Amino acid sequence: MKPVSEKLSDGLNKQITAEFESAYLYLAMADFLQGRNFDGMAYWFRKQADEEKTHAMKIHDFLIERHLTPVLGEIKAPNTQWTGVMNVFDEAYQHECLVSSMIYDLVAQAMEDKDYASLSMLQWFVDEQVEEEEQSLALLEKARMIDDVASGLMVLDQQMGARTD
Ligand code: MG
């Protein structure tokens, strides 16, 4: 198997950091929601944060498999100046769209390199992003529908607290 190109391994290393930054962002969102007594929403975002860590490790372990040493970058503190639930969900959705574009850049590089092993690994992320974007957009649309009405927020809080995966 031909080695991972420097450009692609740089990108994969940056993606490890980006996935940990996603985990950090979602944990901060969980804490913000917890502070407003939305226990179910906080639980949902904690689960989301856990999932992001598994994304980071998936790329991390792929680099190990390809006989490379992962380079762990600096994790930026998230901006936590949210105005409310809708603002949190809006940022979560925008964030997933950004992550998708980062994944597509990695795919483009792997294609240019004709690195089929990396492409196969990245395909999992392409599929995952479809789910992530859909999920966060659905939450945003529900929040827009509720428009900050307490009874609606409480129902959504309960629904999000029932997350099983
Ligand atoms: Mg992710």
pLDDT surpassing 90 at residue 1 = no
pLDDT in tens, 104-144: 999 999 999 999 999 999 999 999 999 999 999 999 999 99
CA of 59 to the centre of ligand 1 (A): 11
pLDDT in tens, 47-98: 999 999 999 999 999 999 999 999 999 999 999 999 999 999 999 999 999 9
Indicate the pLDDT class of residue 2, thresholds 50, 70 and 90: confident
CA of 149 to the centre of ligand 1 (A): 30
Domains of the chain: 6-161 (1.20.1260.10)
CA of 106 to the centre of ligand 1 (A): 14
Give the separation between CA 115 and CA 11, rounded to whole angstroms: 14
pLDDT in tens, 16-54: 999 999 999 999 999 999 999 999 999 999 999 999 999
pTM of the predicted structure, to 2 decimals = 0.95
CA of 113 to the centre of ligand 1 (A): 23
CA of 133 to the centre of ligand 1 (A): 10
CA of 2 to the centre of ligand 1 (A): 27
pLDDT of res. 165: 84
